Structure 1
Amino acid sequence: MRHLFFSVVLLLASAGGLQAQDAELVTLQTRQDSQGWEGVGRLDIRNKGFCTAALIRDRLILTAAHCLYDTDGSLISPERFEFRAGLRDGRAAATRRISRAFAHPDYNHDGDQGADPAEVALDIAVLELAQPIRSTRIRPYLIAPRPLTGDQVGVVSYGRGREGAASLQEVCSVLGRQTGVIVMTCDVEYGSSGSPVFIMQNGETRIASVISAMAQVDGEKVSLGTSLNGPLSELLAHFAAFGPARPGGTQRLMGFGERNDTGAKFVRSN
């Protein structure tokens, strides 16, 4: 999870006023608590740490693109990833290795040199599981249209200090959108990168965004997510263009393209 200063002036209600309406983070400690959230898991990265990811097909998980990069800026080999769906107190509802991983084709990773809106707006990746997850308990999530300013959303995440079980914030708020970036009041922490942001639509809980970073607006902590409209379709088309994984073949992590620079910048606070 990256920590940035969001320096753009937002012409909307203050973050503090909306945060007062937010729900507290609740740890999903029991099987009953976790019901419906088993498709969210901790994405462990050997010798690096972890992110959060969510099942969107029986063999595909969605996370943040920057999770695919090592501290030196190099792409991480798929063999170093492991997805632990519904992880709680050391036990997962399903554990899968990763065969291939794809960042959005236009995502450009800047490492620790700063990030701009164009990078955050495309900060999504899909990882292909070595074996599908097919269970009545663990179902892939559908995708919702991008949330609107003022919408109430929720987030399920792992994070530093709460690595052993997912935490649910049932209600947080969308402060606004800018150049494909969703600004929210959701409470996230290091390790929460890739966490699914949920919205209720037609009686179903659907993924509306993916957490990219923490930030500040007028001194208030906020979270930044990617608008999935457009970018996710482009990413899935990019993934599909490579066809099925070849049994016994060499699987490479792919990341292509250049950033479309808008000029506005985020500056990391650490």
Structure 2
Amino acid sequence: MMRRVFEAALAAMALCAPLILPAVTWAEPRDSSGLRRLDTIEAGRGWEAVGRLDRWGEGFCTGALIAPDLVLTAAHCLFDRNTHAKIDPTSVEFLAGWRNGRASAYRTVKRAIVHPDYVFDGELSAARVRNDLALLQLDRPIRNTTVLPFETDRRPNKGAEVGVVSYAHDRDNAPSLQEVCGVMSRQSGVLVLSCDVDYGSSGAPVFSFEHDMPRIVSVVSAKARVNGEEVSLGVSLDKELALLRAQVEDAAGVRSMPTGVGRVQVGGPRNNTGAKFIRN
């Protein structure tokens, strides 16, 4: 059975005020599987390219390797939530496959490339979730045969089964896998997911299992509440990731849009979603 109206109140993991999204058709949540801790070598095999992001020895977000020197995460992870200022990316360390006090590889971040349309302290809107994407360029590539970068894929359809690997605040000593959760809705570049996330899960990769190997199809931006049920909100990759990759390749254009590339539209026009936003 399909429901038509949902209200998403964004939690403070990414946004600081409630967000009411317009009426859409969304799929009933699938019976999501429970979390499985990947706290042994055997359980964590194949997931080593998911890592914890640390500052001064403390985990604060999740990221995933998509190239030997590139980590995909959420843009809001790179901003101080109190001052709204961008943090020094060189203070961030990527701990690939972090588990029980050890990582498969340790790398510091050399450069952070945030989506050009992302504004951390701007007007609260669905665009902040839709553009909540960043790439971290590592100081050195990871050339470890056990830490293999993940491929990315197109955004999943409504009703598709996906999974999430993350380091939430109450389980940040090892990654946890939720292998089956569902895509409840796709709206203006934002995915509404039935996946279980919490603080520290920001930037976590959302995987599709349609191919022989898991592929990243989204990044966790926030948790929300829909009709009393907790859900998560994910970013669609599509052209947005290609835009960030282009900026990585253009060292002189890290702070500006690449020549000839306008503001990319994903999932339909962005000028008016019909959303109503409420501030505290």
Following superposition of structure 1 onto structure 2, how do residues 39-188 of structure 1 map, counting pairs within 5 Å?
A: 39-46=49-56, 49-71=59-81, 72-110=83-121, 115-188=124-197
> Aligned-pair distance for 1:30?
0.2
**CA-to-partner distance for each residue in 1:35-66, whole Å, 9 max, x for gaps?**
11000000012398510000000001000000
Q: Does 2:20 match 1:7?
A: yes
Counterpart residue number, 1:222: 231
SS in 2 for 1:161: helix
Q: One-letter code of the match for 2:158?
A: T
Deviations 1:155-207 (A, max 9, x none): 00001111111000000000010000011000000010000000023312100
- Asked if 2 retains the 8 angstrom alpha-carbon contact of 1:7 and 1:217, the reply is no
Question: How much has 1:95 moved relative to structure 2?
Answer: 0.7
Q: Mind listing any 5+ residue stretches in structure 2 that lack a counterpart?
A: 1-12, 265-269
**What stretches of structure 1 of length at least 5 have no aligned partner?**
245-252
CA deviations over 1:209-245 (Å, ceiling 9, x no partner): 000000111121110000001111111112222269x
Q: 1:237 to 1:68 in 2, by over 3 A?
A: same
Residue aligned with 1:230, SS: helix
Q: Is the 8 A contact 1:195 1:211 kept in 2?
A: yes
Considering fraction of residues, name the structure with more strand: 1
Residue 266 to residue 243, structure 1, CA distance change in 2 (3 Å): same
Paired residues, what number? 255
Q: 2:94, 2:49 → 1: CA distance?
A: 10
When residues 87 and 219 of structure 1 are mapped into structure 2, their CA distance, relative to the original with a 3 A threshold, is same
Letter in 1 for 2:242: S
TM-score, normalised via structure 2 length: 0.84
1:2 Cα shift? 2.5
Q: 1:249 corresponds to which residue?
A: none
Query: Identity over aligned residues, as a percent?
Result: 46
* Contact 2:49–2:96 (8 Å) recurs in 1: yes
Q: Which has the higher contact order (CA 8 A, sep 6+)?
A: 1
Secondary structure of residue in 1 paired with 2:248: helix
Secondary structure of the 1:204 match is coil
